[in-house]
Amino acid sequence: MKTYVQVGLGGRHRMFRQALTGRHFEWARLKAVCDSNPGRLAIAKSQAEEEGGVPVAAYEAADFERMLADIKPDCVIVTTPDWTHDDYIVRALEAGCDVLTEKPLTIDAARLQRIIDTQRKTGGVVTVTFNYRFTPPRTQLKELLEAGTIGEVTGITFDWNLDRRHGADYFRRWHREKKKSGGLEVHKSTHHFDLVNWWLGSVPETVYATGGRRFYKPDTAERMGLSGRAPRCRDCRVNNCGFRLDMNEIENLKRLYLDCEEHDGYFRDRCVFAADIDIEDTYRVQAQYRNGAVLNYTLVAFAAWEGYAITFYGTEGTLTHSYVENSTINGANLAVRRAEQVKTTLSRFGEELQAIEVWKGKGEHGGGDPLMLDMLFDPASAAEDRWRRLADFRAGGWSILTGIAANRSLIEKAPVTVADLVNGLEVPPDLQPAAGGKP
Ligand SMILES: NC(=O)c1ccc[n+]([C@@H]2O[C@H](COP(=O)([O-])OP(=O)(O)OC[C@H]3O[C@@H](n4cnc5c(N)ncnc54)[C@H](O)[C@@H]3O)[C@@H](O)[C@H]2O)c1
């Protein structure tokens, strides 16, 4: 049996906790939890003990090293906010533990270098939980591409829409500060750039980005007639903005955030139109890959629908895929449930257009989360993975390098060479072609 501790007990904590106290209890055991907020720490401890029926120790963030010394876990699960990941990853590796971290691996090149260097020194295993790879229709694309269905992939267009419910949520709290999240280019697009790297079996060479904050800004609110806004929804008398988050109405948000504010002043409901937001809500990234493929990617965080559309151009044909997703608010335990629409179409030169029967999944993130948890925690599932879905810090690193380069490109208004950003980041097998060849 492997032993785990988890640091960071907010919205994303629950998925890992429940995996360890429930389905994977026999072979993966949660021994302790850790957080900087005593309120969320107490909640997580009592929920874990209630679910698992065994004691779970609780440590404040200042006692992280003491926790590792007391518990001697095999692995530390990191689900803190993005700008703190590197610190916990490095401290866990130095203590001789493996690490399982949420995306993004980290937020900038200096922090990434620190992780690369420490991993090399300690030899610990750092897994990045890229749940999107496990969503069955996306795994199916990997299968189709790797089988050579459209020949060699030479280009991808990829448009990702966050709607005004899910997208707005990144503008309420720490994600809205670039120094805490790396912007959506890193925080959110790490998923998408990882998918591209993995689908292509290659890594980015040059990146050019354009974009800005076009919607979540004071001018938009004024144009909508929303004068007299307060810094947070709780104190705001403007009731008709359409973006109000009332934590009193959503039990889990109230318990996790509103009731715990007194300890750290972390407000989950800040105004999405505030002047001090410094992340982009609209951007386009063009990238050239080592294998010669080109990418044209757009993200908009205030779209009318949630989901994405993608086209792969190959030497033997074209593969298109679109996914209208459910819109969620992280930590709220509720999603706007509508029928998801997933469509994949294959057109090969000289043949009729073909609708592909799409692989289906069940559970969060289109069925990706439960499959990933099995692979992470169940030794039997981990043995066989022909799509190479489990990712380590190297894939985590390559996925954020596109976003880090995009951030630099936005400032310099010029293309950025990815190899100039960090040293010694290898290309792992999951980002290489299955049958060998140039990554
Ligand atoms: N893969 C996915 O689909 C997915 C979905 C949601 C979130 N995430 C990731 O999970 C991570 C957590 O996101 P969240 O929405 O749960 O955030 P959150 O703000 O809800 O929770 C973060 C928790 O970390 C604690 N914390 C903050 N600073 C700390 C520190 N220095 N030491 C210890 N604890 C600290 C906070 O008190 C809070 O309890 C992020 O990195 C995010 O990108 C991934």
Do 209 and 301 share a domain, yes or no? yes
> Which phi and psi (to 5°) does residue 428 adopt?
-75, 165
Domain containing residue 311: CATH number: 3.30.360.10
From residue 316, alpha-carbon distances to 151, 202, 319 in Å are: 5, 19, 10
User: Looking at per-residue confidence, does 240 or 357 come out higher?
Assistant: 357
Do 171 and 147 share a domain, yes or no? yes
In a domain, 435, yes or no: no
Check whether 337 has a pLDDT greater than 70.
no
Is residue 315 exposed (0-12), middle (13-18) or buried (19+ Cβ within 10 Å)?
exposed
Distance CA 387, CA 140 (A): 9
Confidence of residue 168 (pLDDT cuts 50, 70, 90): very high
pLDDT in tens, 244-280: 999 999 999 999 999 999 999 999 999 999 999 999 9
Confidence of residue 334 (pLDDT cuts 50, 70, 90): low
User: Taking the CB of residue 363, how many other CB atoms lie within 10 A of it?
Assistant: 15
Mean per-residue pLDDT of the chain: 95
Do 204 and 318 share a domain, yes or no? yes
> 201 C-alpha vs ligand 1 centroid, how far in Å?
29
Is residue 24 exposed (0-12), middle (13-18) or buried (19+ Cβ within 10 Å)?
buried
Name the nearest CA neighbour of 216 among 170, 178, 181.
Answer: 170
Ligand 1 pocket member 331 (CB < 6 A): yes
Confidence of residue 186 (pLDDT cuts 50, 70, 90): very high
Ligand 1 pocket member 37 (CB < 6 A): yes
Index of the ligand 1 atom closest to the CA of residue 85: 41
Index of the ligand 1 atom closest to the CA of residue 8: 24
pLDDT at 330: 75
In a domain, 294, yes or no: yes
Distance CA 272, CA 170 (A): 8
Do 143 and 226 share a domain, yes or no? no
Ligand 1 pocket member 102 (CB < 6 A): yes
Check whether 327 has a pLDDT greater than 60.
yes
CA dihedral 386, 390, 395, 396 (to 10 degrees): 160
pLDDT at 376: 94
Distance CA 47, CA 243 (A): 31
In a domain, 184, yes or no: yes
Do 196 and 136 share a domain, yes or no? yes
Site of tokens 């990829």:
158
> 102 C-alpha vs ligand 1 centroid, how far in Å?
8
> Which phi and psi (to 5°) does residue 46 adopt?
-70, -35
Name the nearest CA neighbour of 355 among 365, 363, 347.
Answer: 347
User: Taking the CB of residue 434, how many other CB atoms lie within 10 A of it?
Assistant: 16
Check whether 338 has a pLDDT greater than 70.
no
Index of the ligand 1 atom closest to the CA of residue 12: 16
Check whether 133 has a pLDDT greater than 70.
yes
> 246 C-alpha vs ligand 1 centroid, how far in Å?
20
In a domain, 46, yes or no: no
pLDDT at 72: 98
Nearest C-alpha to atom 15 of ligand 1 is from which residue? 11
> 182 C-alpha vs ligand 1 centroid, how far in Å?
14
In a domain, 327, yes or no: yes
Name the nearest CA neighbour of 178 among 406, 407, 402, 400.
Answer: 407
Do 210 and 155 share a domain, yes or no? yes
Do 341 and 285 share a domain, yes or no? yes
**226 is in which domain, residue-wise?**
222-264
Q: How many domains does the chain have?
A: 2
Site of tokens 């010694």:
424
Do 259 and 294 share a domain, yes or no? no
In a domain, 430, yes or no: no
Confidence of residue 92 (pLDDT cuts 50, 70, 90): very high
In a domain, 374, yes or no: no
Ligand 1 pocket member 12 (CB < 6 A): yes
| Percent of all residues in the chain with a pLDDT value above 90, rounded to a whole number | 90
Index of the ligand 1 atom closest to the CA of residue 40: 39
Check whether 438 has a pLDDT greater than 60.
no
Ligand 1 pocket member 183 (CB < 6 A): no
Token output for 194: 């990882």
Do 313 and 397 share a domain, yes or no? yes
Q: Could you tell me the pTM of the whole model?
A: 0.96
Token output for 14: 């629950």
In a domain, 196, yes or no: yes
Ligand 1 pocket member 11 (CB < 6 A): yes
Distance CA 264, CA 431 (A): 40
Of the candidate ranges 145-159, 345-359, 368-382, the one whose mean pLDDT is the lowest: 368-382
> 436 C-alpha vs ligand 1 centroid, how far in Å?
37
> 80 C-alpha vs ligand 1 centroid, how far in Å?
4
Confidence of residue 326 (pLDDT cuts 50, 70, 90): confident
DSSP per position, 330-398: TTSS-EE----EEEEEEEETTS--EEEPPP---STGGGHHHHHHHHHH-HHHHT--TT---EEHHHHHH
Do 239 and 281 share a domain, yes or no? no
> 209 C-alpha vs ligand 1 centroid, how far in Å?
27
The stretch 322-342 carries a mean pLDDT of: 75
pLDDT at 335: 58
Confidence of residue 439 (pLDDT cuts 50, 70, 90): low
Nearest C-alpha to atom 6 of ligand 1 is from which residue? 12
Do 302 and 348 share a domain, yes or no? yes
Sheet holding 391-392, edge to edge: 57-60, 28-35, 2-7, 75-78, 98-101, 126-128, 391-392
Q: What is the CA radius of gyration of the chain?
A: 21
The stretch 182-207 carries a mean pLDDT of: 98
Distance CA 401, CA 425 (A): 10
Question: Which residue among 15, 35, 191 has the greatest number of ligand 1 atoms within 8 angstroms of its CB, and so is best to mutate?
Answer: 35
The stretch 66-83 carries a mean pLDDT of: 98
Check whether 71 has a pLDDT greater than 80.
yes
Do 169 and 297 share a domain, yes or no? yes
